[in-house]
């Protein structure tokens, strides 16, 4: 445990680690305040593409935490950076919230529902059969299918809800084309986090609540992993995987309790 406290920085998942929906989790305020007071470098890395860094900052402020927008990095931002690196000036048909469209616009990737190079899917509450039909038609015409993250479910204050992977699945099935997912466990996300912190992998710990995305991403990026049991993965689930986190805690508050 002492090893975690001595880390220079932390990359921390949000959903299931910091909050469930609009409910902050126990011990989070103490952990965040400890990082701020001890000048720890940290970034919140979230597979959710639904909010901008400013919106996430404001969300935490409503929960009583003051964290500036530069401490957040989302799968929408990672997706935009990936597409910009792959095909600068490309166009996309997007099924997702405004934050995803904004991230793409910021990288000069514009909307196109006629002949886009990409179909991009992220979490959204406006998913419809009409949009699925459009996405299928465009992928069948040659557009490449991109998912902001592969999560099929995510924790909320109302319980487990479908996430991007579940929304992409009908399009994959209907077209026979597999999506490329940018978010965790793709190491791209963690590498972006390390770049933002300007830290070597040995100097940070990665905290997440999912064995299948967070912990495997940390292991494959050669960083120490911390699984918290406040989200999707239960303690009895750990043995179902052929890899293990370095630490298992009830929540992030346990880091500063000891």
Secondary structure of residue 179 in the 3-state scheme: coil
Domains identified in the chain, total number? 2
Q: Which structural domain range is residue 157 located in?
A: 76-181
134-177 pLDDT, tens per residue? Answer: 999 999 999 999 999 998 987 666 777 889 999 999 999 999 99
DSSP three-state, residue 42: strand
Judgement on whether residues 88 and 168 belong to the same structural domain of the protein? yes
Catalytic-role residue among 15, 151, 209, 214: 15
d(CA 141, CA 229): 43
- Catalytic site residue 203? no
Predicted confidence (pLDDT) per residue in 194-220, tens digit? 999 999 999 999 999 999 889 999 999
For 25, counting Cβ atoms within 10 Å of its Cβ (0-12 exposed, 13-18 middle, 19+ buried), the class is: buried
Beta strands in 65-182 (DSSP E): 72-74, 91-95, 110-111, 118-121, 144-147, 153-156, 159-162, 180-181
* 237: helix, strand or coil: helix
Count of Cβ atoms closer than 10 Å to residue 132 Cβ? 16
d(CA 188, CA 88): 18
User: Is the bond preceding 185 in cis, omega lying within 30 degrees of 0?
Assistant: yes
- Asked whether residue 209 is assigned to any structural domain, the reply reads yes
End-of-domain residue from the set 181, 211, 239: 181
Catalytic residue flag (residue 15): yes
Whether residue 20 is found in the same domain as residue 89 = no
Report the candidate in 114, 108, 106, 101 with the shortest Cα–Cα distance to residue 143: 114
Q: Over the chain, what is the mean pLDDT?
A: 93
């Amino acid at each position: 445990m002492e090893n975690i406290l001595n880390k220079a920085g932390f990359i921390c998942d949000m959903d299931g680690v910091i909050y469930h929906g609009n409910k902050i989790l126990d011990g989070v305020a103490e952990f965040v305040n400890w990082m701020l007071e001890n000048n720890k470098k940290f970034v919140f890395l979230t597979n959710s593409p639904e909010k901008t860094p400013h919106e996430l900052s404001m969300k935490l402020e409503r929960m009583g935490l003051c964290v500036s927008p530069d401490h957040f990095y989302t799968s929408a931002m990672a997706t935009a950076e990936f597409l910009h690196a792959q095909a600068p000036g490309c166009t996309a048909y997007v099924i997702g919230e405004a934050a995803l469209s904004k991230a793409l616009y910021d990288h000069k990737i514009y909307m196109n529902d006629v002949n886009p190079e990409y179909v991009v899917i992220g979490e959204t509450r406006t998913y419809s059969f009409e949009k699925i039909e459009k996405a299928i038609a465009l992928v069948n015409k040659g557009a490449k299918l991109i998912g902001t993250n592969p999560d099929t479910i995510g924790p909320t204050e109302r319980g487990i809800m479908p996430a991007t992977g579940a929304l992409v699945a009908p399009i994959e099935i209907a077209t026979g084309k597999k999506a490329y997912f940018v978010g965790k466990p793709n190491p791209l996300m963690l590498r972006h986090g390390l770049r933002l912190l300007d830290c070597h992998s040995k100097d940070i710990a990665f905290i997440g609540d999912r064995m299948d995305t967070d912990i495997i991403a940390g292991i494959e990026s050669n960083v120490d992993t911390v699984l918290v049991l406040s989200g999707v993965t239960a303690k009895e689930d750990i043995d179902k995987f052929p890899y293990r986190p370095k630490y298992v805690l009830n929540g992030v508050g346990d880091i500063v309790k000891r």
